[in-house]
Amino acid sequence: MAAPMKVDIVSPEKVLFSGEANMVITRTAGGGEIAFQAGHAPFLGELVENHTRIYLTDGKIQDVAVHRGFVAVAEGTVSILSDVAELAEDIDVTRAREALERHERTLKDEEIEARIADAVAGKARARARLVATGNSFTA
């Protein structure tokens, strides 16, 4: 097994997560999912809304909803920098489902371009939250 690496998820307000892991899987803009393990080459990428998985050294998985940002890999550390990220256990599933339904209705009925763009972004955030918590979603 590869040596563990340090993983940090930080926002402007706080460090959301800091610990050791064997692997991190996240999703980059235009690149799809990417996995990082110890010894990975230096990397910098833009993140989209996604369900990020951190495979901890104790065998558990820390699920995180990441709402855009950046991932940087350097010298045995994976850093996820995001204005908004949520640990799965902190997500209100009922609220996320309601948001998803509201954004889907807006996309179905709206004609104003700015409102459609807001609904697309909101739907992506709600989907990331639901997937991170292990809950399914529609559409």
The structure's pTM equals: 0.76
Q: Where are the domains of the chain?
A: 5-88, 91-132
Mean pLDDT of each 10-residue bin along the chain, 139 residues long? 87 92 95 92 94 96 94 96 90 83 78 72 78 66
pLDDT of residue 2: 64
Across 5-60, the runs of DSSP E, i.e. the strands, are 5-10, 15-28, 32-36, 43-47, 50-56
Which one of 3.90.1170.50, 1.10.3720.10, 2.60.15.10, 1.10.620.20 gives the CATH number of domain 5-88? 2.60.15.10
CA gap 51, 86 in Å, rounded: 10
